[in-house]
A = this chain, B = another copy of it.
Amino acid sequence: MGRAQQDAVSSGSHKYLAVRDYLTNLVVRELKVGDAIPSERTLTERFGVSRMTVRQAVAALVTEGVLERVQGRGTFVAPQRMDFELRLTTFGEEMQRRGMEPTTTVLASQTVAATPEVATELEIAPGDDVHFLYRVRSADGAPMCIEQVWVPVALVPPLFDDGPPASVYEALRAHGQAPVWGEQTLAAADATDAEASLLGLGRSRAVLRARRRTFSDTGPCMYSHASYRSDRYSVWVPLRAPGPAIVPRGRSARRDPHDTSAPVAGAHDGTTTEV
């Protein structure tokens, strides 16, 4: 390893990664929003690399939204993005970020046979065993939502061995099925009597229903229903201007470049009309 002066943050073997990590640390540790980073030519000298290499590092952070370039002036720390997607977080994490105390009442925790709906969403056979968890989730002592969760037993047999986990996502991570992404459909609905009673609803019977599929590297790992009190919960969504969509001509007979043997999801553009 004849690399002598290399920055302490050197990561891996690629030079642009060293530069990128240096910049990342700079942004996290020293700079404020609006501050300029060292110029590309400065970085070129400091790291002894060519300018294209520096630009590759900077470009990566620009793509991530961490930096922004302004021609003629420099490259600056970008104003913090407001998380341009909903995050795949647990109820507990979500509440803690808001400074609220999450609590949970478990109504049921058992193994059941997958209903057709659950089986479809989890891409398993109807009747297959699934872990089932049924909970009321509260924030600062007041009921916030009712949640039903299904996880294929075949995927993670010992998921509930230590009793119902406080966080299913945590449990999945611990068993090598870390959630990677998800999709969720939101709709308004009238609370059922059971929901109204569990949530302590008064006159207002409207609830926000979320049906969520969570995916790990290997496919769907969890399906869940949640009904939120409409007076305590809303969802913020950013909207992007529709660019002139660039869409390929059709599906090729060839396989995917990666062997994503699962069927490719069709076009989807956010809103859904159910007729």
Q: Does A101 contact B (CB under 8 A)?
A: no
A206 near B181 with CB under 8 A, answer no
A204 near B190 with CB under 8 A, answer yes
Q: Does A186 contact B (CB under 8 A)?
A: yes
Nearest-Cβ distance from residue A44 to partner chain B, whole angstroms:
16
B241 near A88 with CB under 8 A, answer yes
Q: Does A13 contact B (CB under 8 A)?
A: no
Instruction: Name the residue on B nearest A190 (C-beta).
Output: B206
B32 near A252 with CB under 8 A, answer yes
B264 near A33 with CB under 8 A, answer yes
Instruction: Name the residue on B nearest A209 (C-beta).
Output: B188
B85 near A233 with CB under 8 A, answer no
B188 near A188 with CB under 8 A, answer yes
Given A188-B189, A264-B33, decide whether A88 and B273 contact each other with a Cβ distance below 8 A.
no
Given A82-B265, A246-B28, decide whether A181 and B33 contact each other with a Cβ distance below 8 A.
no
Q: Does A146 contact B (CB under 8 A)?
A: no
Complex: how many Å from CA A181 to CA B82? 13
Given A28-B247, A88-B240, A205-B206, decide whether A270 and B34 contact each other with a Cβ distance below 8 A.
no
**A contacts, CB < 8 Å to B:** 24, 27-35, 52, 59, 63-64, 66, 68, 70, 73-74, 76-77, 79-80, 82-89, 93-95, 97-98, 100, 139-140, 144, 178-190, 203-209, 212, 214, 228, 230-242, 246-258, 260, 264-275
Top 8 closest pairs, chain A to chain B, by CB: A32-B252, A82-B268, A182-B239, A86-B270, A187-B234, A188-B188, A188-B230, A34-B252
A sample of 30 inter-chain contacts (CB < 8 A) reads A27-B248, A32-B252, A33-B256, A34-B251, A34-B255, A34-B257, A35-B254, A70-B257, A77-B248, A80-B264, A82-B265, A83-B267, A83-B270, A87-B270, A95-B273, A139-B273, A140-B275, A178-B241, A182-B239, A184-B236, A184-B237, A184-B239, A186-B234, A187-B208, A212-B239, A233-B273, A234-B274, A235-B237, A236-B268, A236-B270
